[in-house]
Structure 1
Amino acid sequence: MTATTAPTPGAAIPLPEDRPRLRRLTRVAGSLYLVIFVVYPLSTFARSSLVVPGDAAATADNIRVQETLFRWGIAGEATIVLVEIVLAAVLYALLRPVSRPVSLAAALARVAEAVVMAAGCLVTSVFTLTVVADPGFLAAFDADQRDALALLFQEANDDIVLVWGFFFALSLVLTGWLVARSGFLPRLPGILLALAGIGYFVQSFGTFLAPGLTDTWALVVLVLAIPGELVFALWLLIKGVDADAWSTAASRAEHRKV
């Protein structure tokens, strides 16, 4: 009778069923990232294109005339909130062999970003639509006051973006660290993700501390964030992870009980 040898702790355990599951995970993650890349700019443009800075009446008139476009913007932002939550779970499942605590922290930060986006940006947009299109009891206020409220809500939306940016930045830095340390994904996308997170930190802190340089902070995000997130998304979608290295990392994590 042939003796069986127990697997060495830390060695890769052959798990052929992991391969299709991992491929699905990486494709889902990459696809969700691409959804964010497409839907978020479109939804933001649909809303912000109707806002005339400093002109409450023109802003309210634009929203009344193009209410459908504004509603599509709200629907797009709601889609992003849902996608971010699902993506947080998928990335946690994919990266937890590296470090469960850090992967959980990255996922929670991403969920917190989505919650702030929903509670802030979506609510202010709904309030704007209510004030402009169906004032109801706000009819007690005159038209100029209602228009001023609509513009206030939209300007507040821009500040709330900076708040959820803190959580998003933390998520990117932690995810970048996990990717760089994983061994089953290349280090470069991880480094680029961490730099993207730093870019969002710079934008959020910089805008609050030096609002006169808002355009500069936006440029920092454009330069640092887009390459990292896009490279990571395309790598997940096209190449995926090294399944053998992932199994090895999962086995080691199981033995560490981390």
Structure 2
Amino acid sequence: MSKKSIARLAGLFYLAVVLTGIFNLIYVPSQLIVWGDAAVTVNNILNSEFLFRLGIVSGVLCYISFFVLPFILYKLFKSVDKNYAFLMIALAVVSVPISLFNMINKVDVLTLLSGAEYLKAVDTEQIHTQVMLLLRSYNNGISVVQIFWGLWLFPFGYLVYKSRFLPKIFGILLMIGCFGYLIKFFGYLLFPNVAIPLFVELPASFGEIGICLWLLIMGVKDKPAQGVS
């Protein structure tokens, strides 16, 4: 398989990660979850249960795609620096089992709202509280796994920067994006009452979406010219 074909395959899997991730992590919660009102949240989930289930499926597909992606990228970048390419795989792949296990929290929400006979002994208000705790626990899990979503971007960005067959600007954005993720996690953990500025997330967003579209549309040169970035 040529480098251009490998690049486009990587872009395709990256696009799957981006689209399913946005749907699961941003769109579905924005439609269903009202953090200040458990009753409204539960009612939203019950009325749009298929959307909630679709979010879970989308999340699972996102993490499966994210598991495959770094191995494809390894084929693309191993000639640039095999050690950094291996580190990129390790930091990305370690996040996948954590992410999948964290999804249990959302499945448990469905169990609580299933109307099963054994749940009739539990007060409605208690069920609502449990649902919100599970949703908050899921978000906490996402916060933790973001450490690895950030860390893998540094070796990935370095490889892009050194490759000479991809624009260096994407490599710079990805490496800066690594620290954006870490700032977001440690800032939230250490200073929970301080709002993290939105611009902290922008380098990672621009870098990931940019490299995704570049790989998918432009691909790479099979034989990079010396000095070309």
TM-score, length basis structure 1: 0.80
- Deviation, 1:32, is 1.8
- Deviation, 1:48, is 4.4
- Measure the CA separation in 2 of the matches of 1:182 and 1:205: 31
Gaps of 5+ in 2: none
Question: Which range moves more in the overlay, 174-183 or 69-78?
Answer: 174-183
User: In the superposition, relative to structure 1, how do residues 227 and 240 fare at CA in structure 2: closer, same or farther (>3 Å)?
Assistant: same
The answer to whether residue 58 in structure 2 is matched with residue 58 in structure 1 is no
* Cα shift readout 1:170-206 (whole Å, capped 9, x = no counterpart): 1001100111122332322111111111211111111
1:30 touches 1:233 (CA, 8 Å); kept in 2? yes
Q: Tell which structure's C-alpha radius of gyration is larger.
A: 1
The answer to whether residue 25 in structure 2 is matched with residue 46 in structure 1 is no
Any idea what SS the aligned residue of 1:60 has?
A: helix
Residue in structure 1 matched with residue 78 of structure 2 by the alignment: 96
- Deviation, 1:72, is 0.8
- Deviation, 1:136, is 5.2
- Measure the CA separation in 2 of the matches of 1:242 and 1:70: 42
Residue in structure 2 matched with residue 128 of structure 1 by the alignment: 109
2:3 touches 2:221 (CA, 8 Å); kept in 1? no
- Deviation, 1:146, is 1.3
Residue in structure 2 matched with residue 233 of structure 1 by the alignment: 212
For residues 150-161 of structure 1, what are the structure 2 equivalents within 5 Å? 150-161=131-142
196, 200, 203: which one aligns with 1:220: 200
TM-score, length basis structure 2: 0.90
Residue in structure 2 matched with residue 179 of structure 1 by the alignment: 160
- In the alignment, residue 27 of structure 1 is paired with which amino acid? R
The answer to whether residue 62 in structure 2 is matched with residue 80 in structure 1 is yes
- Deviation, 1:108, is 1.6
* Cα shift readout 1:77-113 (whole Å, capped 9, x = no counterpart): 1110111011121111211122222211111211122
- Measure the CA separation in 2 of the matches of 1:134 and 1:99: 55
Aligned residues: 224
Instruction: Calculate the aligned-residue CA RMSD, in Å.
Output: 1.9
User: In the superposition, relative to structure 1, how do residues 148 and 100 fare at CA in structure 2: closer, same or farther (>3 Å)?
Assistant: same
Residue in structure 2 matched with residue 115 of structure 1 by the alignment: 97
1:64 touches 1:133 (CA, 8 Å); kept in 2? no
2:4 touches 2:221 (CA, 8 Å); kept in 1? no
- Measure the CA separation in 2 of the matches of 1:135 and 1:224: 46
- In the alignment, residue 244 of structure 1 is paired with which amino acid? K
1:193 touches 1:225 (CA, 8 Å); kept in 2? yes
1:206 touches 1:217 (CA, 8 Å); kept in 2? no
- Deviation, 1:23, is 1.9
Q: Which runs of 4+ in 1 moved over 4 A?
A: none
1:202 touches 1:217 (CA, 8 Å); kept in 2? no
- Deviation, 1:239, is 2.3
Gaps of 5+ in 1: 1-19, 247-258
